[in-house]
Amino acid sequence: MKLRSFLTVLALLITLSPRPFALAATDHQSHTDTSGSKSGSTEHGQTGATFTHQEVVEGVQAEFQVMTLASMNMKDPQGKTHHIMVKLVDVSSQKQIGNAVGKIKLISPTGKEQVESLQNYSGILAANFIFDEKGKYGVICLFEVDGKKRLIKFWYPN
């Protein structure tokens, strides 16, 4: 119950910030896709214990944050070590999307897979995972907004 309350407060703080606070002081790498693919652009960075990734896909901007539970002064009863959250925004209206549902599949450097359904905390979708290996993790997020499914993939360096 304390975990849920904390995550709700954290989600509200992130929602109320004009931009994800972790992006403000990062050295970004930006990419613009001009190949005509469904994904418009991506952006990612890392400060301290928070990794960020932004991507636009089919009119929806997804703003991911990956952080350790330890950096949030939290422990998971199931031994999970990291928290992944995503905020979805409609690109045309710049309004946050609150009715999305989705899942994240996490693939470890050695190929172990974890799949978690995203919980909705006042419009911020989030789930916890175990990161027990060093190296690049594949993050695959499938989410649905208004009956339309979208897919985002990125790498998380652990």
Min mean pLDDT across 17-21, 138-142, 144-148 is at 17-21
Q: Are 139 and 129 in contact (CB under 8 A)?
A: no
At residue 48, the pLDDT reads: 56
Give the Cα separation of 26 and 46 in Å (integer).
Answer: 6
In the sheet that holds 119-121, the strands lie side by side as: 29-32, 39-47, 50-57, 60-68, 82-90, 124-129, 119-121
At residue 71, the pLDDT reads: 93
Output the six-digit token pair for 8.
């709700």
Amino acid at 44: H
Domain count, the chain: 1
Give the Cα separation of 132 and 38 in Å (integer).
Answer: 33
- pLDDT beyond 70 at 13: no
The mean pLDDT of the chain is: 80
Give the Cα separation of 106 and 85 in Å (integer).
Answer: 13
Output the six-digit token pair for 50.
């928070």
Taking only the tens place, the pLDDT of each residue in 93-115 is 999 999 999 999 999 999 999 99
**Which residues span the domain enclosing 68?**
2-157
Confidence of residue 46 (pLDDT cuts 50, 70, 90): low
Q: How many CA atoms lie within 13 Å of 40's alpha carbon, on the beta-carbon side?
A: 10
At residue 52, the pLDDT reads: 96
Query: Does pTM top 0.75 for this prediction?
Result: no
Dihedral of CA atoms 15, 19, 20, 23 in degrees, nearest 10, equals: 180
- pLDDT beyond 60 at 18: no
At residue 138, the pLDDT reads: 98
- pLDDT beyond 50 at 15: no
H/E stretch holding 16: helix 2-16
Q: What percent of the chain has pLDDT over 90?
A: 68
At residue 43, the pLDDT reads: 52
Give the Cα separation of 65 and 76 in Å (integer).
Answer: 18
Which of the two residues, 144 and 43, has the higher pLDDT score?
144
CATH for 11: 2.60.40.3340
Mean pLDDT calculated for residue range 61-87: 96
Give the Cα separation of 33 and 21 in Å (integer).
Answer: 25
